[in-house]
Structure 1
Amino acid sequence: MPADKQPYPSVWARPQRRRPEQQQPLSREQIVSAALELLDAEGINALSMRKLGIRLNAGATSMYTHVANKDELLELLVDQVYGEVEAPAADDPAGWRAAITRYAHSLRATVLRHPWIVSVLGETGVAYLGPNVMRQNEAVLAAFEQGGFTLEAADRALNTVVAYVIGVSTGEAAWLTTLARSGQTEQEWAASLWPAAEQAVQDYPRLRKLYAAQRNQDLSAARDDEFAGGLACVLHGLAAHFSPAEGSG
């Protein structure tokens, strides 16, 4: 079915086209793998079907057998990246909070390995129908249910945790991308920026106090601590709001 005739323009909304194995010049997996390498190396602006074809030494016809356009390719890439996230284990003996905490840290780490993904999450059609995303969401819902959440509450909790992780990670990804372009470390960048920052906060006593306390911090460790602290607050709030079973974690 042509992409423009589909009920919804998504790679997940149509069956995958197949040719006899001997006629397949390349596979969907090869296309996605090459595109992922390109994006991780050069960023989202580097991705084009033409550039990808050159990288694969393949013609457009070969690629369009598997993906109708760049939007479909992005859906596949998002699902591929989500496949790296550690989903909560069923009936984790450590309890639901520990399971969700590990999941959230894994999601953040995955986003930071592939910082380009934050710029396409809102532009990938029905990427949430991808198999990796669906398996992950199913596992997260089960973890919340283990903690006494109803299914509806678990769905809201899942959306809240993901919103927190993606919100924090978006800022971090932008920061790390800027650092990569500069060729500096976080500490080097901060040291070069510090005189201007100190001058800017002179008339703001609270900010001045905070900046002074942060002067010699390990910035990477500070980001980790801030993320963990915020996540603990989110989970505490979810527990208080939805009143899960006592003793569930």
Structure 2
Amino acid sequence: MTTGRGPTQADKQAIPSVWTRPRRQREHLTRERIVTEAVRLLDAEGIEALSMRTLSNRLNAGATSLYRHVANKDELIELVVDEVYGELHVPTAEHRSEWRSAAAAAANSLRAMALRHSWIASVLGQVGLSHLGPNVMRMSDRMLAVFETAGFPSDETDRAVSTVVAYVIGVATSEAAYLSMISRSGSTEQEWVEDLRPALEEAARDHPRLIEGQVAQRGVDPGQVRDETFDYGLQCILDGLEARLAHHGSV
């Protein structure tokens, strides 16, 4: 027999996110300590090394103590992602003429963060409700303010921000994977490129356009090449967004 009663508040399942639970206070093992150590572990050994057991050992704490603050690995990932987003610098655009330089500075800050923490690219698709994190929310709000100052209508500001962020994360993901591979080899990026050059030239010998590009980059710092390539794509995106602004101004 059913009562016809709908689900009460007590019947509902909690939303599985670290940002929806109250924090524990006044304990020796704090959320801040856990997150700081988790970021250190990730930077040193990568995402494969991250586990609740490994982290509790590094903190000299029992697993039970850790689980009082972080329910599982998914919540831990939410926390570390928000932590590194706190490193981002998004300038304020006081005037409309400053929006483009502010957006470019924010994009470069995001790329630099992603390259410092190369593991982040592999977890961005599994961070749950990361947008509830205070640092992610702060960054998002400041970015939206830049594009509002630019003059984008309210229904486009979020899309404009998402376009820039998607470009940065896409490029930085490839860069981080490439740099991680070089790091594992024990070579510098310059050494890697020079060691690989004979094989590249052999593979490209029937492709004159590729050979021309390789010749142009001989002796050039590969980091500089990556910076210039990133900036080229970013400026193209900002050109497109500026064209959108001009369109809105003409209608």
- Out of 16, 19, 22, the residue aligned to residue 12 of structure 1 is 19
- Out of 220, 228, 233, the residue aligned to residue 231 of structure 2 is 228
Secondary structure at the counterpart of residue 243 of structure 1: helix
Task: Give 2:165's aligned residue.
Answer: 162
Q: Which has the higher contact order (CA 8 A, sep 6+)?
A: 1
Amino acid corresponding to residue 237 of structure 2 in structure 1:
V
- Out of 36, 56, 60, the residue aligned to residue 57 of structure 1 is 60
Task: Give 2:203's aligned residue.
Answer: 200
Task: Give 2:110's aligned residue.
Answer: 107
CA–CA distance in structure 2, aligned partners of residues 144 and 87 of structure 1: 12
Query: Cα distance 1:153–1:243, how it changes in 2: closer, same or farther (>3 A)?
Result: farther
Amino acid corresponding to residue 157 of structure 1 in structure 2:
A
CA–CA distance in structure 2, aligned partners of residues 83 and 72 of structure 1: 17
CA RMSD of aligned residues (A): 1.6
| Structure 1 position 241, deviation (Å) | 2.4
Q: Is the 8 A contact 1:101 1:231 kept in 2?
A: yes
- Out of 131, 138, 146, the residue aligned to residue 135 of structure 1 is 138
| Structure 1 position 6, deviation (Å) | 4.1
Greater displacement, 97-106 / 7-16 = 7-16
Aligned pair 1:70/2:73, yes or no?
A: yes
| Structure 1 position 243, deviation (Å) | 2.9
Task: Give 1:80's aligned residue.
Answer: 83
Structure 1 residues 195-233: Cα deviation after superposition (integer angstroms, max 9, x where no partner): 110011112121121122112211011111111111111
Amino acid corresponding to residue 209 of structure 1 in structure 2:
E
Amino acid corresponding to residue 15 of structure 1 in structure 2:
P
Amino acid corresponding to residue 14 of structure 1 in structure 2:
R
| Structure 1 position 181, deviation (Å) | 0.8
* TM-score where L is the length of structure 2: 0.90
Task: Give 1:219's aligned residue.
Answer: 222
Amino acid corresponding to residue 29 of structure 2 in structure 1:
L
Q: Is the 8 A contact 2:114 2:176 kept in 1?
A: yes
Greater displacement, 78-87 / 233-242 = 233-242
Q: How many residues align?
A: 238
CA–CA distance in structure 2, aligned partners of residues 136 and 195 of structure 1: 44
Aligned pair 1:174/2:177, yes or no?
A: yes
| Structure 1 position 94, deviation (Å) | 5.7
CA–CA distance in structure 2, aligned partners of residues 156 and 241 of structure 1: 12
Q: Is the 8 A contact 1:118 1:170 kept in 2?
A: yes
| Structure 1 position 88, deviation (Å) | 2.6
CA–CA distance in structure 2, aligned partners of residues 243 and 35 of structure 1: 46
> Matched residues, percent identical?
56
Q: Is the 8 A contact 1:27 1:66 kept in 2?
A: yes
Amino acid corresponding to residue 15 of structure 2 in structure 1:
Y
> Which has the higher Rg, Structure 1 or Structure 2?
2
Q: Is the 8 A contact 1:39 1:116 kept in 2?
A: yes
Task: Give 2:37's aligned residue.
Answer: 34
* TM-score where L is the length of structure 1: 0.91
| Structure 1 position 245, deviation (Å) | 7.5
Q: Is the 8 A contact 2:96 2:151 kept in 1?
A: no
Query: Cα distance 1:92–1:181, how it changes in 2: closer, same or farther (>3 A)?
Result: farther
- Structure 2: where are the runs of 5+ without partners? 1-11
| Structure 1 position 90, deviation (Å) | 4.9
CA–CA distance in structure 2, aligned partners of residues 93 and 86 of structure 1: 19
Greater displacement, 145-154 / 73-82 = 145-154
Q: Is the 8 A contact 2:93 2:99 kept in 1?
A: no
Task: Give 2:47's aligned residue.
Answer: 44
Structure 1 residues 42-67: Cα deviation after superposition (integer angstroms, max 9, x where no partner): 11111010010110000011111111
Q: Is the 8 A contact 1:115 1:177 kept in 2?
A: yes
Secondary structure at the counterpart of residue 160 of structure 1: helix
CA–CA distance in structure 1, aligned partners of residues 180 and 211 of structure 2: 27
